[in-house]
Structures are given as structure tokens and as C-alpha cells.
């Protein structure tokens, strides 16, 4: 497991890097539909074992929570449900559909250009760390590039983001056959993360 | 300064916390509305991608949120063309209200909805997306459809009934035309019928009269229609006819009616029966004036001829009688036989002439009776020796039976009744080759009951109905006895009926015949005679 190759304890303990509770709540809602009661219980226990003693039902989508909580949830899925990168990416795909924060961002999801250009703002609305940049959009070649800098959480989270960006891109492209792949990653020796979205 | 900055920071943090709390409450509120709102709705972006759905939507369309969000909203519509059209419309208009459309659920269940679309714009008026609400009108439409189907069924039924009714009407019309044609035909027949026809309805009023009736009574048909017998009686020309009927139209068969000197009608009435119910009476007026005139002329001719013949025949009779009696000198046996034959032939001729004269008188209505109180037994007794002699000549046994010692006297024309008895007994003797003749007189109720029974040739069944007709003789009678005139029974019938009696017979061919006649007597008169 990738999570075992990285020291995640720092992330779990980091109280400065925060993210809005929308994702965590959306993930939890997704799990409520997918996992059994028993698995949910195990997942909650697992999250607690990572040091997050929090009632998941009461997570507010607009409050800021330590990024470690979101990572703890993802890890618990990997541990309890044995989810791999594929399942985590699928989770990423579904979270924007259930996330309340997307509704705040609705005014940007009206066209490819507007959505693409607004994505850094959207990022900042979610995260209090990391910088999302929009260096290239090629409508002719049908792709766009997203660059994420100063963002080192865990490679599994990169998979989550791949899925997340894919759905968000689908919203602004008006298409379902959209793919997102991480072409550069800090965990592969690059200076930043780069996601290429094609349609 | 530092304190002020610290204060500002803490105020800012407090404000942010307050804002976050408010936002949190708002999110909760929106979430609760989403969960509570029973109306399915979704939010789509300007590209037509479904961004958000509520719980009712999930339930209505049977999609999970994650399944449907991110899809083009046209996936929801049954008719892709309609979805494309709607997508184009959305760019032009701000609002659509209650548009009826058929949607498809995840499980391809069709539902009829009224959709309401509201465009969401930002402060600059740019379109951010659309709210789409779905009102399920499937039950309403189903109800409407069932109503329409019922109405359709009912309409179809009514249509069928209408067609059936039209057919009936057509049939009725055809039938009416046919009946009218029949009626016209019947009317034409009635109008052109040579007999006069008068139809009375069941109230006894004239409902129809033909032109012939008009002509007979010299009155217009319209003056007859609707009139009752009592009203018709007042019309002079019709009076004799109405007198014939009496108070109501009774059954009449071939009754003669002389309305004036030049018109003799034979009147018959027939009750008109329809489905066992009497609906009126038909009076048939047959003009027999011509027949009557011919008959009268014929009778006159016969009468005159007979009278003219009887005088010389009487002279011949007495001349022959004198020769036969030897008043003119002796004759030999051969001469006597010839003279006897001539005498017999002359007698037959006289009888024929007498018969013809009687018939002529009967037909002319001049067969006058001179009724007197007579004892029929005595009349028969007077005649019997002649009958016995005739019977004995043929070797027949003859018997006379008086069932009673005494018979009431009857008012009769002796000569005529003697003629009846003579005709009947002589017929019995003439048409019997062997056996017996039995003459009987009895009383039956208020009638003298005479019968003569023979064991003769009998009357063939086929000829029984004509036996009392003039000049009619049975075929077997002609073969066995050549001398008959065919007038005897006609005369007998007329004489008996003129006395108020009846005449009839029973016969079996080859076995014999019995003729009967009755003469009524008056009990009161008889009682009076007995007292005297």
C-alpha cells in the first residue's frame, strides 16, 4: 500500500492545512449509499484510530477541517474496504456530484472557459493551501492542463483528485466521456502536480 | 496600536465565525428543503448538464444522485427530438410553465409530467443555469385517458347505435314505401273494383268507399266517410241498405237488395279481422241487375213457352185417353200398346212443363202459396197408394211409418207439399233397383219431421253440394234413369223453405239415400185446435 510507504502521521497531525468539510461530507454520504452498516462502523473506528474523534454525520460542508481528516477517510476505505487507486478515483468522480460546495460554484460551471479560468478560485474556496493554475487549454486538441503546486498530501489523494477534476471538467464541457490523468506528480520526482484533462 | 490590531483581528475572527455559523445554518436549511420538498426538481447548467437534484427527483426518476448528476438532462425525456427542441428553447426564453412532456425513469417507465423551467441568471443577467421542476400528471392523464377511452367507447357505442338506428329507419322507410305501394295498389284495386265496397271501422263508421259505391247510391264518397249507420240511414238512397243491416252490421251473405227499379245488388258483409281482433266490416255490393233481368226474361220465356205447350199437350192427353178407353171405337192390342207409350210420353212432357212452370214461378217470385191448416199424415196417406203401386211395379218393398198416432196440423199449401213428397218418394223409387223404400213421419221439437229412405244408387260425394241446383242430376242418376228433369229437388227445396222448413239428405253412393224435410207447427195453434 502506498500509504505505508509515506509518513502520514505528520499529515494527520497537521492542523494548518485545511479543507472545507464539503468533500468529507460528500465522501461520507457516498459511503452511506455504497457500504454496509458494519463497514461504515469499521470505517468510523478506523478514522478514530487515526486520531480523528469526530462525528462524521455532523461534518459541515462549509467549515474548514484539517486535510488529515479527508486523508484518514480515504485511508480507512483502503484499509477496511480494500479500495485501490481505481476505486479511489471513482470516489473522486462522485464526490463533486454530492458536494454541497459545488453549488456555491455553480455560477462558474457555465462554460469551459469560465469554469477553467475559475478553477483556481474554486480551489481557494476549498483549500487553504496549494495553488491551482490553469496554464493551457487547447480546444482544438481537446485537452486542458491543470497544475497544482505546493500540495503534498499522498499519492492516493492524487487519484482522488484525478476523479474529482474529471467530473468537474465534465460539468463545464457538457460531456461524460472526459478523462483526467496526472501527468506530473511530486511523488514521481516532479516539482508539481500536473493533470491533463482530455475529451 | 498593537492592542488595537489584536482587537481588530479578534473582531474579524468573530465575524468570520458568525458568517460561518450563518452559512452553516443556511446550508442545513437548503439541505432540509431539498429533502423535504415533494416536488422533483433538478438544476442544470447552461450546457444542459445536471448539476444538482433533490431527494424527490431521485425517488421519482429512480436514479441515484451519482448516477444522474453529470448527465445531459435530455436523458430524462422519452422523445429525444422534444428534448433537443427544449434545449434550444431554453436559450431563448426565461421561463416555461406546465409544459406537458413524457419522461423516462431509469427503469424506462414512462411518466407524463408538467415541467416548469426557470432560468437562473447572475447579477449581470448572464444565464447560470436552469431550475427544472417536474409535476407528475401521470395519474391525471391516465384518468383523463380512461375518460377519453370511455368517451370514445361510448361514442363508438353511440355511433353503432346510430348506425343501427339508421339501418332500422332505412328498413322502416323501405317498409313504409313498400306498404305505401301495397296500399296504393290495394287502393287502385278498390277504386277500380266493379263491386261497390264500403268499409266500416270498429266504431261502425265508414272509413272507405269506392267510386262504384258512389255510383250505386248517387252520393259522394266524402259524404259517406266518418258516418255511422244511423247517420247513413238518413240518406234516402242508402236507406234500403242500412235497413238490411239493422242496428249493426251483421253477417250477411249474398242478400238481394233492390235499391231502385234499375238496380239490384247482392249484398255481403265480411268482418275484417286482424290478429284475432275485429277492426271493422267490409260490405260488398255486387250489381246483379243484369243477371236478374236475364233470369227474369228466361223465366218469362219458359213460362210463356210452357203455357203454350201445356194446352196442346192436354188436348193430346185427353185424345189419347179417349182412344185408350175405347171411347172412339175398339182398338187392338198392338194399337193399345202404342197408344199407352204415347200417353206415357205425353204425361212425362206435361210433368216437365209443369216443373218448368213451377221453376219459372219460383224464380219470378210468383210461386204463390195458399196455406191452410192441414194434416200432413192424411196428405201422405192419400198419396201412398200411388207410391206403393209404383214400388210394386219395380218389385220394391215400401213401408209407411207414422211414429205418432196424431200429428199437429200445419199451415201449408197442400198442393205444393204434396209435390215435395211426390218428388222425394218418386226419386227414391226411380233410383232404387232393389230393396226397400221407407217413408216416415215423426215430430221433432216444433217440427213435423218427414223422411224417405231408400236402398238405391246414392249420391256421389263430389255432387252432393249441387243436388238442389236447377237442372242438376247426378251422373249415376242419369245413367240409371233417363227421364228426370233435374228440377224436382230444386222445386222441393223452394217449397219447403217457403214454408219455413228445412230440407236435407244423407247419402252413401251405392248404399242408399235418405231425404228429410221439416215443417214447423205452432204449439199455440195446436193447443187451440185440441181444445176445440
| Inter-residue contact A179 to A89 (CB < 8 Å) | no
Region B508-516 average pLDDT: 94
CB contact under 8 A, A174 and B49: yes
The CA R_g of chain A, rounded to the nearest whole Å, is 16
pLDDT at A6: 64
CA–CA dist B138, B111 (Å, integer): 6
* In the block, residue with C-alpha cell 269506392: B210
* B435, B398 contact by CB (below 8 A): no
Mutate to test the interface with B, among A109, A113, A128, A164 (most CBs of B within 10 A): A109
Closest CA to A121 of A135, A131, A110, A111: A131
> How many Cβ atoms sit within 10 Å of the Cβ of residue B119?
17
Helix, strand, or coil here: B496? helix
Write down the pLDDT at residue A1.
38
Q: What is the pLDDT at residue B290? A: 86
Interface pTM, i.e. ipTM: 0.86
Using CB atoms, pick whichever of B20, B45, B126 lies closest to residue A62: B20
CA angle B431/B433/B436 to nearest 5° reads 90
A158-162, B73-77, B294-298, B460-464: range with highest mean pLDDT: A158-162
The bridge status of strand B436-444 relative to strand B397-402 is parallel
Of the pLDDT bands very low, low, confident and very high (cuts 50, 70, 90), residue A4 is very low
| Per-residue pLDDT reduced to its tens digit, A64-85 | 999 999 999 999 999 999 999 9
- Which helix (H) or strand (E) element contains residue B200? strand B196-201
State whether B27 and A61 contact (CB < 8 Å). yes
Cβ neighbours, 10 Å, residue B48: 19
- Residues in chain B within 8 Å Cβ distance of A98: 65-66, 69
Dihedral sign (CA A46, A49, A51, A57): positive
Q: φ and ψ at B131, to 5 degrees?
A: -90, 130
Question: Chain A contacts of B20, Cβ < 8 Å?
Answer: 62-63
Q: Which of residues 47-106 of A touch B (CB under 8 A)?
A: 60-63, 94, 97-98, 100, 102-103, 106
C-alpha span between A120 and A134 (Å, rounded): 8
Mean pLDDT across B129-151: 87
Q: Which residues of A touch B51 (CB under 8 A)?
A: 102-103, 106, 109, 171
CA distance A16 to B179: 113
Window A:100-119, CB contacts with B under 8 Å = 100, 102-103, 106-107, 109-111
Residue B10, min C-alpha distance to chain A (Å): 18
For chain A, report the end-to-end CA distance as a whole number of angstroms: 31
Instruction: Verify whether the Cβ–Cβ distance A170 to B49 is below 8 Å.
Output: yes
- pLDDT, average across residues A27-48: 91
Strands B95-104, B110-121: pairing kind: antiparallel
Give A2's pLDDT tier (boundaries 50, 70, 90).
Answer: very low
The contacts of residue B226 (CB under 8 Å, 6+ apart) are B205, B206, B207
pLDDT digits (tens, 9 = 90+) for B225-266: 998 888 888 888 888 888 888 777 778 778 888 877 788 889
Please indicate whether, in this complex, the C-beta atoms of A110 and B27 are within 8 angstroms of each other.
Answer: no
A60/B27 Cβ within 8 A: yes
Amino acid at each position: 500500500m502506498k500509504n505505508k510507504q509515506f509518513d502520514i502521521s505528520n499529515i494527520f497531525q497537521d492542523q494548518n492545512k485545511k479543507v472545507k468539510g464539503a468533500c468529507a461530507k460528500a465522501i461520507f454520504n457516498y459511503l452511506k449509499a455504497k457500504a454496509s452498516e458494519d463497514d461504515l462502523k469499521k470505517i468510523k473506528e478506523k478514522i478514530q484510530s487515526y486520531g480523528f474523534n469526530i462525528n462524521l454525520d455532523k461534518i459541515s460542508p462549509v467549515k474548514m477541517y484539517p486535510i488529515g481528516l479527508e486523508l484518514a477517510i480515504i485511508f480507512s476505505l483502503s484499509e477496511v474496504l480494500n479500495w485501490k487507486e481505481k476505486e479511489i478515483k471513482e470516489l473522486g468522480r462522485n464526490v463533486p456530484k454530492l458536494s454541497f460546495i459545488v453549488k456555491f460554484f455553480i455560477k462558474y460551471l457555465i462554460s469551459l472557459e469560465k469554469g477553467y479560468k475559475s478553477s483556481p478560485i474554486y480551489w481557494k474556496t476549498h483549500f487553504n493551501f496549494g495553488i491551482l493554475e490553469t496554464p493551457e487549454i487547447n480546444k482544438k486538441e481537446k485537452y486542458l492542463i491543470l497544475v497544482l503546486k505546493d500540495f503534498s498530501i499522498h499519492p492516493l489523494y492524487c487519484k482522488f483528485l484525478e476523479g474529482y477534476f474529471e467530473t468537474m471538467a465534465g460539468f463545464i464541457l457538457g460531456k461524460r466521456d472526459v478523462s483526467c490523468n496526472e501527468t506530473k506528480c511530486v511523488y514521481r520526482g516532479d516539482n508539481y502536480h500536473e493533470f491533463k484533462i482530455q475529451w | 496600536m498593537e492592542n488595537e490590531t489584536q482587537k481588530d483581528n479578534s473582531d474579524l475572527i468573530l465575524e468570520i465565525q458568525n458568517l460561518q455559523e450563518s452559512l452553516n445554518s443556511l446550508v442545513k436549511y437548503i439541505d432540509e428543503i431539498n429533502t423535504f420538498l415533494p416536488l422533483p426538481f433538478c438544476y442544470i447548467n447552461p450546457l444542459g448538464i445536471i448539476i444538482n437534484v433533490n431527494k424527490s427527483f431521485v425517488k421519482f426518476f429512480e436514479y441515484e444522485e451519482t448516477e444522474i448528476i453529470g448527465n445531459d438532462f435530455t436523458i430524462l425525456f422519452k422523445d429525444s427530438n422534444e428534448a433537443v427542441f427544449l434545449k434550444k428553447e431554453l436559450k431563448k426564453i426565461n421561463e416555461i410553465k406546465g409544459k406537458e412532456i413524457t419522461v423516462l425513469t431509469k427503469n424506462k417507465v414512462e411518466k407524463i409530467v408538467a415541467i416548469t423551467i426557470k432560468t437562473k441568471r447572475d447579477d449581470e443577467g448572464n444565464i447560470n443555469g436552469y431550475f427544472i421542476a417536474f409535476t407528475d400528471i401521470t395519474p391525471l392523464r391516465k384518468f383523463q385517458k380512461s375518460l377519453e377511452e370511455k368517451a370514445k367507447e361510448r361514442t363508438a357505442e353511440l355511433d353503432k347505435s346510430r348506425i343501427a338506428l339508421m339501418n332500422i329507419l332505412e328498413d322502416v322507410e323501405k317498409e313504409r314505401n313498400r306498404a305505401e305501394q301495397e296500399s296504393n295498389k290495394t287502393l287502385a284495386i278498390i277504386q277500380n273494383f266493379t263491386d261497390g265496397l264500403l268499409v266500416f271501422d270498429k266504431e261502425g263508421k265508414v272509413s272507405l268507399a269506392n267510386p262504384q259505391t258512389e255510383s250505386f247510391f248517387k252520393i259522394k264518397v266524402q259524404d259517406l266517410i266518418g258516418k255511422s249507420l244511423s247517420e247513413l240511414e238518413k240518406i234516402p238512397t242508402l236507406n234500403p241498405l242500412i235497413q238490411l243491416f239493422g242496428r249493426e252490421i251483421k253477417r250477411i251473405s249474398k242478400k238481394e237488395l233492390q235499391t231502385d227499379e234499375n238496380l239490384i245488388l247482392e249484398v255481403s258483409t265480411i268482418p275484417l279481422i286482424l290478429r284475432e281482433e275485429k277492426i271493422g266490416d267490409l260490405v260488398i255490393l255486387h250489381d246483379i241487375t243484369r243477371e236478374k233481368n236475364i233470369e227474369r226474361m228466361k223465366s218469362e220465356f219458359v213460362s210463356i213457352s210452357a203455357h203454350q205447350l201445356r194446352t196442346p199437350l192436354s188436348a193430346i192427353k185427353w185424345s189419347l185417353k179417349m182412344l185408350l178407353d175405347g171411347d172412339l171405337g175398339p182398338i187392338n192390342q198392338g194399337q193399345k200398346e202404342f197408344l199407352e207409350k204415347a200417353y206415357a210420353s205425353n204425361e212425362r212432357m206435361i210433368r216437365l212443363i209443369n216443373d218448368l212452370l213451377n221453376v219459372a214461378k219460383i224464380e219470378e217470385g210468383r210461386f204463390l202459396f195458399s196455406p191452410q191448416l192441414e194434416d200432413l199424415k192424411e196428405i201422405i196417406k192419400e198419396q201412398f197408394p200411388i207410391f206403393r203401386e209404383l214400388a210394386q211395379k219395380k218389385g220394391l218393398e215400401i213401408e209407411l211409418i207414422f211414429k205418432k198416432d196424431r200429428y199437429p196440423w200445419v199451415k201449408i199449401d197442400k198442393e205444393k207439399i204434396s209435390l215435395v213428397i211426390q218428388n222425394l218418394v218418386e226419386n227414391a223409387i226411380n233410383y232404387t233397383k232393389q230393396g226397400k223404400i221407407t217413408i216416415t213421419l215423426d215430430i221433432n221439437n216444433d217440427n213435423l219431421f218427414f223422411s224417405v229412405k231408400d236402398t238405391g244408387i246414392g249420391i256421389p260425394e263430389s255432387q252432393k253440394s249441387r243436388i238442389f241446383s236447377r237442372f242438376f242430376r247426378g251422373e249415376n242418376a242419369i245413367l240409371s234413369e233417363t227421364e228426370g228433369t233435374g228440377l224436382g229437388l230444386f222445386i222441393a227445396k223452394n217449397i219447403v223453405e217457403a214454408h219455413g222448413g228445412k230440407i236435407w239428405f244423407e247419402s252413401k253412393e251405392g248404399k242408399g239415400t235418405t231425404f228429410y224435410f221439416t215443417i214447423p207447427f205452432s204449439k199455440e195453434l195446436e193447443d187451440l185446435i185440441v181444445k176445440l
